[in-house]
Amino acid sequence: MVTATKKIKNIIIASILFTLAFINFGCSPTNILATGGSGALVVAEGERSLGVVIDDATIKVNIAAKFLNAGDNLFVNINTSVLEGRILLTGLVENQELRIDAVRLVWEVEGVKEIINEVEIGNRSTLKDYASDLWINTQARAVAAKVVGLKSVTFNFETIQGKIYVAGISSRPDLLSDMISALKNIKGVSEIVNYVIIKEKD
């Protein structure tokens, strides 16, 4: 017999997953279902077909469901970026077992072609550190918008302990280089990790 509490939990999970299907490809513990500065599904510069975008969104929903069902705060503590079946995991977990478990769960999702595991072991030791990462991430989105304009919505930024992870697809390596250089000038940034895929225009 399903309890009222379980029914409520199932409704909440279903609502989250439904919302997730219509957003861009990131999951942040600070702004749980927003990423890349945009709340819309984005296909930019003709670099991804609508079919690929939908496939990636489906993969993201399925990963979120795995993390939600697994418990251990994986859904909250691990950020997920999905690009053409390529999964970038970032975030902080308490131990190596959780880090490995997250990768195992992602591999169970149909359509996953590659996993880049940048999840770190540790915790947000102080509220100040957490606020600093939030501030850096906000600045990163603002800097990207200034340097590359509207195309900045196709990039996903995640900041963990001063390290900015950038994911996305671009056909303009010159603009990407300018953006990376500008991100390095943000106060508090210790490193930029670039996982942007460069694609030539047809």
Residue 186, pLDDT score: 93
- The model's pLDDT over 162-190, given as tens digits with 9 standing for 90+, comes to 999 998 888 888 889 999 999 999 999 99
DSSP symbol at 186: S
**How far is Cα 178 from Cα 196, in angstroms, rounded to an integer?**
13
The amino acid that residue 198 corresponds to is I
* Cβ atoms 164, 183 nearer than 8 A: yes
Residue 7, pLDDT score: 52
**How far is Cα 199 from Cα 72, in angstroms, rounded to an integer?**
37
Domain ranges, ordered by start, for the chain: 1-202
Name the one residue in this structure whose structure tokens are 């279902």: 33
- The model's pLDDT over 132-161, given as tens digits with 9 standing for 90+, comes to 888 999 999 999 999 888 777 778 888 888
* Cβ atoms 87, 56 nearer than 8 A: no
Q: Which parts of the chain have pLDDT scores under 50?
A: 1-2, 20-46
